[in-house]
Structures are given as structure tokens and as C-alpha cells.
Chain A
Amino acid sequence: MAQAEGGYYVPHGSNWPIIGSVGMTTLVVGIAMYLEGMGIGTWVLGAGALITAWMVIGWFGDVIRESVKGLYSDQVDRSLRWGMIWFIFSEIMFFAAFFGALFYARTLSVPWLSGEDPATSRLLWDSMALNWPTAGPGNAAMDFQPMGPWPLPTINTLILLTSGLTLTVAHHALKEGNRAKLITFMWMTVALGVIFTGFQGYEYYEAYAHLNLRLDTGIYGSTFFMLTGFHGMHVVIGTILLLVITLRCMKGHFRPDSHFGFEGAAWYWHFVDVVWLGLYIFVYIL
């Protein structure tokens, strides 16, 4: 399915988008059915996830094959770069909505409820003093401990920062044509990603088992778990991306002067890294 027109590769028809549409629709309908308590929801959801995964693997497979065949000119490469940059920008804006909710709760809604806005606090929960972290005036009986920055989140910060470093070392090795060093440092990066996710899972276990901190622990639990949860999801996706890239490095798919696949995954990883720094400061420390 190849066409190189004026040097620009325009693929001729592809089944993956329509498979992806069917897969994504099945997936979300399945989740919605599950949430509404319909028995077959889980099965629909599972089928949708499988179809979507099939699409992702097949589509990326096509792209990798075309890339290895050398169908992509510099101009195609630039399109992919712009695509990745704007995709990451959209992801940043997605996180911005949740950070916005956190800032709003901390600087506006919680102070208003605890008396800064006399009308609100008098009408709702009269003269109840609230301090961050809080589960809210209606959950005053809820006894929980917040998740502090020490020790796990700080260790995780170091892990992610180190992974950014190892990834950069790997990138330099790739540019120097040093395969052995590239592959070693890629595996180190993947391993750090996995360890991060493991620690994050342990942190969640601690929260539920010992701190009585849950997703429904008022606004603190909501913002804590939604922000760290979506971040964790992105870490998992990023780790899978890096794993695929590592395997491609071992297959020798990348050249010192042409390796957008590597760079795209690396950009994604650095984005995940930066979001974590935001979380570390605003969720754990402050």
C-alpha cells in the first residue's frame, strides 16, 4: 500500500481506523453498560479492549514496517513530529483541568466553605473550620491521613528523574551509534518505569489499607487519586512505548540520524516526568 507522491508518502487506504472506531465504540459502550450495572457490560468492555489493542498493534506495526522500508521522507518525519508535539500539548491540557480543580478547591471552595465567604458557610455548614487536606464539611467524621512526600513519593521523584537521565544517555548512545550502551540504558529506563509503577501501586495500597485514604475521601481523595491515577496511567503507557522502542533498538530499526520513533517516545516520557514534578510539588509537598 505504498505511494510516494512528490516525495510525500500518502498511504493508500487502511483498515485500522475503522477497526479503531469499532473498537473504541465497543469499549466505551461496554464501560457505560458496566457502570449502569448491565451484566454483559464486562464482556462488551473486554471485546472492545481487545479490538482496540488489535488496532493499536496493527496500526503501529504498519507504520514501523513503512518506516523500516524507508518510505518516510524528511517531510513525513516532520509531520509525525508536529503530530506528537500537539498530541502532548493536548495531554497537558487534560492534566490542566485536574490541576485546575485542585487549585480551585484549595484556594477557593474549601476556604469559602470554612467561613471566608460568610453567606456560603452560614447557609451550609455553619462555622465549620476546614483545613487542607480535608474530606469536606459533610465528611467531618471521616478520619484519614494525607499522603505526605516522604518517603515513597520522594523516592519515586528520584526514580523518574533518573529515568529521564538514563533515557538521555541512551539517546546520545543512539546518536553515537553505540548499540550496546543504547540498549543497556533503554532497559534501565524501562526498569525504572516499572519500579515507579510498582511503588505507586504500593502507595495506593498503603493509602487504602493504613491511611483510610480513598478515592471517595472528599475533595482531597478525589484530587489525589485522580491526578496521581491519570499520571500513573500515563507512566504505564510511556513504559510500554519505551519497551517497544527498546525492542526496536535491539532489532536495529533506528539510525543515528533518523529515529523519530525513539524521540517521540522520549518526548512522551519527559512529559510524564514534568507532570510528576507538578504532582510532587502541588499534591504531595504543598
Chain B
Amino acid sequence: MTATTQDHAHHEAEPTGLKRWLVTTNHKDIGSMYLLFSLAMFLVGGAMALVIRAELFQPGLQVVDPYFFNQMTTMHALVMIFGAVMPAFTGLANWMIPLMVGAPDMALPRMNNWSFWLLPFGFAILLSTLFMPGGGPAGGWTMYPPLMLQTGTAFPFVIFAIHVLGISSIMGSINVIATILNMRAPGMTLMKMPLFVWTWLITAYLMIAVMPVLAGAITMLLTDQYFGTTFFSAAGGGDPVLYQHIFWFFGHPEVYILILPAFGIISTIIPAFTRKPLFGYSSMVYATASIAFLSFIVWAHHMFTVGMPLAGQLFFMYATMLIAVPTGVKVFNWVATMWRGAMTFETPMLFALAFVFLFTIGGFSGLMLAIAPADFQYHDTYFVVAHFHYVLVTGAVFAILAAAYYWLPKWTGHMYSERLGQWHFWLSVIFVNVLFFPQHFLGLAGMPRRIPDYSVQFADWNMISSIGGFGFGFAQLIFVWLLYKCIRGGQKAEARAWEGAEGLEWEVPSPAPHHTFDTPPVVR
């Protein structure tokens, strides 16, 4: 009782201004900070992508010098992966998981704050390397030795920045798992949880399993550079390929970390705008778990050309192809959910539909890359670039945008401008295909990735791709404007902002009050 009285006294005394955001333990505050940070990083990483596309607009060297170009390709990837997509998903997890499972907050609220605040600090270190003697990292985000060891002053700063970001991810994931396992409202059994919660549970497990492995790999890089260890040097009995194995043991689960929460979002949005329950809920759960399991035994498909015994090539080829089975289950279920549904096409649904179609294209090009003999041809070409941008931009990013449109009314209490949303969607979906589809042709024709200049035969498609890039980039400013307007005002949103929306988050008012589910709801 005393605790409760005390608490009300403190409700009044909550800090305001900047201090509130520095010390907050509220999952909604922290979720908002994650989401806004991720948007900022999306724009920074996008600007880097535009530098790349500007240089590639024509053959020859026009805009930046090749070394800076390499820094841009490296930093673009690091910023987008660790700064835009992962924090966006963590922000959505922070905002939505407690609401979806009927919890008063995340399980470990103080650590939640720390997970967030490490990110801006980590990125301050990472981005500052661009201004150091010798420039930022330029050997690609995978940081393969020995190339990575040629980085200038930036080298240890990059390593430690990634350590900091990794610690942030691990703590965020521990929090998500503890919340899901321990904070569910009475009656919310595991198999009643919304799929977004399920996919995040599995994602968090993947993150805790592989982020420390990345930490180990980059620690070995650091000691190889400064303390004379020879993990990655053949002269000392090590092997540069060892780094690739350790890195991709992290890296492949990492790409599922970047997509599994997106699967959860799409599985939430499609039923809402189809006004039908999700088809095959339990098969969705099992498919997600299967994908997570398989993600640990496919890593060397990133390394088919590095030199590997035949048995290894065959194993990793077939294991990779197996992933198509649970992924196919998911795509089938989404389509089956829409079958004979009463569908409407608001912006979240449009992004979700584009996700299903375009992510599947990315999945198919992934199958092509999985075929080891064919991969000898595709490896390190623009075909790979096209593949992973289909799964990450029209996959992960489109899902994040869909989620933002879907839950904005719950976060802000206002409906966003549907007109601007439709403009944003159509411009994005057209330009993103102009941007990335030609890259398939470039790659099949032999254009290597990560180069600032190219043979004239590649000129036309590169120009078209760059036009798509600038179109897609500037189309995102519509979203920024829409977001600003939606936060500032607009049509009042009802508690259940969408007619077909299901789930506990729609039982609380819009905007969701600062504290929700202080006493847990009972789920029947």
C-alpha cells in the first residue's frame, strides 16, 4: 500500500524536458525514441546511398573519390542494419509487446533505457570515424581481414562502436524475452500471442545467440591488429577464412533478425484489412521457429567462392534451399488469409501487399544464389545487391513502414493523412523497383558490387537505377512530412482505429495513455 501511495506522489514529480527522455523507464517513451532514432538513421544511411547512386549514375569517376565511395558502401550498410532496421524493430517491440501481451511495461525498464541510449553513443563513435585520419572503414560492412586491418585511425573506433551496438542489442533482446515469458496477462497463453510477439521472441533468441559471436570475431580482429595474435593470419597458423566463418555464423541469423519481426507485422496487418483471422496461425509459429533453426546451419552459402570442400558446398546449398519451405508456408498463409476476404487498401495494407509480392521476389533470387554452381557466377555481383535489397528494403523497410502507418493512430491519437500515405506508397513502390530491378540485369551481365566505376556496357541500367534511387529517397520525405503532421494533429483516432484490427492494443484509448495495463487484463 505504501508503495502505491508513494508512487502517486512521484507521478506528479516526473521530470520534464530533455531530462524526461534521458532517464525515462517507460516503454512507450523508449519505443518512440527508438523509432525516431531509426528514422534519423534511415535518412543518414539513405543520404549515403544517394552518394553511391550519384557516383554510379554514369561510368567514370565524377562525384567522389573511390576511397570515399568505399567508405559510403561500408557505412551505408552498417547504418541501415544497426541504426535503421534493428532499432526500428526494437522500437516497435517496446511500444507494442507490452500492449499486446497486457503488461504494465517491459520486464526490466531501467535496462530498457540503457539499451536505447547506447545506440546514439555508439553511432556517434561510428559516424565520427568518417572524419578521422585515413577516413572511416572502407572494407565493406563484413569487415573481412586482411583488408579491414588496413583501416586507418578509425579501426579500433569502428570495432568498439560495434561492440557498443551489440551490447545494446543483447540487452534489448533479453528484455523482450523476459517480457514475453514473464509479463503476459492471465490467459494469454503462448499460442494465443499475436504473431508479432512470437516472431520477436524468436528474433530475440537469435540476437542473444549471435551478437556475442560477432563480438568475438571483431575482438579477434582487434587483437590481431594490436596484440600480435594470428587468428586470421596463415603465417601464424590461422586463416582469414576463419573470420568469414565466424562472421557469417553471426551474419546469417542476423539477416533473419532483420526479417522475422517483419513477418510478424505482415501477419498482423493482412488479417486486419482482410477482416478475416490469419490463416494457419500455428503453422506460422512453427515456420518462424524452423527458419530460425535453419539460419544457424546455412552460413557458408555466403562463402561458396572462398574455397570449401565439396561436401561443405553441398550441405550448405541444400540446407539453404530448405529455408524456402517454411518461408513458402508463410507466403501461402498470407495469400490464403486474403482469399475471399473483405479487403480494403489503406496505406498499411498497401505496404503489406507490396511486401508479400516483392519480398517473395527477393526470396526467389535468394534461391538462385543458393545454388552453389550458379553462385560462382553471381557472387559479388550486383545480382546479390539486388537480392538483399529486395528482402531488406521492400521486405524489412516496407514492413516497418506498414507497421508505422498501422499503429500511428495508436501512438499519436490522430489518423495520418491517407492522401499523403497513398502518395508515399505509390512513389515508393514504383521507384524502388526502378532502383533495384535493373540491378538483377547488371549482376547477371557481370557488374561487380562495391565499385565506383564500371564498363560502359552497364551504363544504361545504372542510370535508370540511380533515377529510381533518387526518386525512392525523396519519396521518403513525404513520410517525414506526414509523420510531422500526424504528431501535430489530425482527425481523432478511435480506440480501435481500424475496423478489422484485433488485439489488446486496440482495447486501450488512442493515444495509448502513458501507463497501460497497470492491472493486467484477463484474456479469455
Contact = CB atoms under 8 A, between A and B. Distances in A.
Contacts of A94: 212-213, 215-216
B3 A10 contact: no
A93 B121 contact: no
B211 A25 contact: no
Given A90-B211, A97-B213, A25 B107 contact: no
Interface stretch (B169-177, B359-367, B379-387): B169-177
B511 to A, nearest CB: 19
A223 B4 CA distance: 54
Given A13-B15, A93-B208, A139-B236, A82 B181 contact: yes
Nearest to B157: A32
B236 A25 contact: no
Given A8-B104, A86-B208, A17 B114 contact: yes
A94 B166 CA distance: 12
A226 B223 contact: yes
A78 B156 CA distance: 38
B514 to A, nearest CB: 11
Nearest to A110: B237
Given A28-B160, A215-B228, A97 B177 contact: no
B238 A216 contact: no
A21 B20 CA distance: 16
Contacts of B124: 25
Given A4-B4, A218-B236, A219-B230, A109 B213 contact: no
A248 to B, nearest CB: 20
Contacts, number: 249
A105 B229 CA distance: 13
A29 B113 contact: no
Interface residues of A, number: 75
Interface in B104-124: 104-105, 107-111, 113-114, 117-118, 121-122, 124
B226 interface: yes
Interface string B189-210: 0000000000000000000111
B307 to A, nearest CB: 8
Contact of B231 (A11, A79, A139, A222): A222
Contact of B104 (A2, A6, A12): A6
Contact of A138 (B105, B153, B235): B235
Interface stretch (A129-137, A174-182, A194-202, A257-265): A129-137
B107 A109 contact: no
Contacts of A96: 212-213, 216
Contact of A82 (B15, B107, B117, B213): B107
A101 B217 CA distance: 9
A29 B160 contact: yes
Given A137-B237, A219-B238, A14 B174 contact: no
A250 interface: no
A105 to B, nearest CB: 6
A71 B213 CA distance: 36
Nearest to B238: A219
B10 A105 contact: no
B153 to A, nearest CB: 5
B125 interface: yes
Contacts of A225: 229
Contact of A89 (B181, B182, B209): B209
B220 interface: yes
B226 A134 contact: no
A36 B158 CA distance: 12
B118 A138 contact: no
A10 B234 contact: no
B520 interface: yes
A109 B238 contact: yes
Interface stretch (B241-249, B319-327, B427-435): B241-249
B163 interface: yes
B183 interface: yes
A91 B208 CA distance: 9
A86 B117 contact: no
A85 to B, nearest CB: 9
A225 B220 CA distance: 12
A276 interface: no
Nearest to B6: A2
Contact of B178 (A4, A82, A130, A214): A82
Contacts of A89: 208-209
Interface in A1-29: 1-6, 8-18, 20-22, 24-25, 28-29
Contact of B235 (A32, A100, A137, A215): A137
Contacts of A15: 22-23
Contacts of B517: 6
- Max chain B C-beta neighbours (<10 A), residue from A14, A71, A93, A113: A93
Given A86-B178, A93-B209, A3 B3 contact: yes
Q: Which secondary structure dominates where chain A touches chain B?
A: helix
Contacts of A164: none
B228 A11 contact: no
A160 interface: no
Interface in A59-93: 59, 71, 75, 78-80, 82-83, 86-87, 89-91, 93
B111 A35 contact: no
Contact of B215 (A3, A4, A82, A97): A97
Given A14-B113, A18-B22, A25-B121, A219 B518 contact: no
B290 interface: no
Contacts of B108: 79-80, 83
A216 B15 contact: no
Interface string B123-166: 01100000000000000000000000000010111011101100
Contacts of A59: 110
Nearest to B112: A17
Contact of B237 (A25, A79, A130): A130
Contacts of B241: 109
A135 B236 contact: yes
A83 B174 contact: yes
Contacts of B3: 2-4, 9, 71
A223 B209 CA distance: 21
A246 B121 CA distance: 35
B242 A139 contact: no
B14 interface: yes
A135 to B, nearest CB: 6
A221 interface: yes
Interface of A: 1-6, 8-18, 20-22, 24-25, 28-29, 31-32, 35-36, 59, 71, 75, 78-80, 82-83, 86-87, 89-91, 93-98, 100-101, 104-105, 108-110, 112-113, 124, 130, 134-139, 214-216, 218-223, 225-226
Interface of B: 3-4, 6-7, 10-11, 14-15, 20, 22-25, 103-105, 107-111, 113-114, 117-118, 121-122, 124-125, 153, 155-157, 159-161, 163-164, 167, 170, 173-175, 177-179, 181-183, 208-213, 215-217, 219-220, 222-223, 226-231, 233-239, 241-242, 245-246, 249, 515, 517-520
